[in-house]
Each structure stands twice: as C-alpha cells, then as structure tokens.
Amino acid sequence: MALTLQTQQLYHLLNLKQKQANFSEAIDARKQAADTAKQTRLAAKNSKVTAEQLQIMTKQADETGRQGQTLMVFTVVTILFVRQLPSPPCQ
C-alpha cells in the first residue's frame, strides 16, 4: 500500500515531535540529577556542621559540669570558713 505524500509528511512530523519530546525529557532528567547532586552535597555539609555543633555542645556541657563542681567546692569552703569565725558579741 503506497502512502501518500501528505501521510509520509505527517509520519515524519510525528517522528520529529517524538524526538523533540525525548530530548526535552532528557534535559529535564539531567536537571533533576544535577539538583539531586546539589541536595546531596548540601546534606553532607549539613551533617558535618551538625557533627561539629555536637562536639561544641559536648565541650560546653563538660565545662558547665566543671564550673558546677568549682562552685560547689567554693560554697563548701566558704561555709567552713564562716563557721570558724568567732561570733560577734551580743549586745
């Protein structure tokens, strides 16, 4: 069955449209891959920052504990010192 020239041209046009759609889909897939890679890099960077923040928080907690111990020792020494002072005379 012989196709008419118009039918051949329509098939050719449909073929070109399909190629254009495939090309657009490939471009979109590439953009999506680039965005995914960027998000992955940002997530890795965020994880690194979070780990650094946890280290800083741990150091601060340790320092807070040491300060609490120092304050407790100071309080005990002050109480012992005050107990050893002579009482003022009553009037």
Range from 1-5, 17-21, 22-26, 44-48 carrying the lowest mean pLDDT: 1-5
Label residue 47 by pLDDT band (50, 70, 90).
Answer: very high
Whole-angstrom distance, CA of residue 62 vs CA of residue 56 = 10
Angle value at C-alpha 74, between 73 and 78, nearest 5 degrees? 115
